[in-house]
Amino acid sequence: MIRRLTLLVIALFSLVGTLVAHEMQPAYLELKETPEGSIDVTWKVPYYKGRLLPIHPIFPDAWQNLNEPTATPLGNATLSRWRVNPGDTPIDGAKVTIEGPRSQLTDILLRAQLSDGRSQISVLRPEAPYVTILFDQEEKALLWDYIIIGVEHIIFGYDHLLFVLCLVLIVRDRWTLVKTITAFTLAHSVTLGIATLGWMEIPGPPVEAVIALSILFLARELLVRTDENPGLTERYPWLVALSFGLLHGFGFAGALSEVGLPEDQIPLALLNFNIGVELGQLAFVAVIIALTALTRKITPKINEAAFKPVVYATGIMAAFWCVERISGFWS
Q: What is the pLDDT of residues 41-73, one digit of tens each?
A: 999 888 877 788 899 999 999 999 999 999 988
Q: Is the pTM here over 0.75, yes or no?
A: no
301-326 residue pLDDT tens: 666 666 788 788 888 988 988 888 88
199-250 residue pLDDT tens: 887 777 788 888 899 999 999 998 887 777 788 888 888 888 899 888 888 8
Strand partners, 225: none
More confident residue, 165 or 330: 165
* Res 300: pLDDT: 64
Q: How far apart are CA 129 and CA 29, in angstroms?
A: 12
| SS3 assignment, position 291 | helix
SS (H, E, C) 123-152: EEECCECEEECCCCCCHHHHHHHHHHHHHH
What's the burial of 294, exposed, middle or buried (CB within 10 Å: 0-12/13-18/19+)? Answer: exposed
Q: How far apart are CA 13 and CA 168, in angstroms?
A: 15
| SS3 assignment, position 47 | strand
More confident residue, 13 or 302: 302
Phi and psi for 63 in degrees, rounded to 5? -80, 125
Residue 329 burial (CB count, 10 A): 10
More confident residue, 266 or 27: 27
| For residue 20, pLDDT beyond 80 | no
**8 A C-beta contact, residue 242 and residue 214:** no
More confident residue, 23 or 62: 62
Low-confidence winner among 4-8, 170-174, 197-201 (lowest mean pLDDT): 4-8
**8 A C-beta contact, residue 211 and residue 248:** yes
Per the prediction, the chain carries an average pLDDT of 79
* Res 331: pLDDT: 56
Domain residue ranges of the chain, discontinuous segments joined by +? 6-22+157-330, 27-137
112-170 residue pLDDT tens: 888 887 777 788 888 888 899 887 655 555 567 778 778 877 877 788 888 888 888 88
* Res 262: pLDDT: 64
* Res 59: pLDDT: 95
Closest of 147, 253, 164 to residue 207, by C-alpha: 253
| For residue 104, pLDDT beyond 70 | yes
Q: How far apart are CA 170 and CA 167, in angstroms?
A: 5
Q: How far apart are CA 213 and CA 201, in angstroms?
A: 20
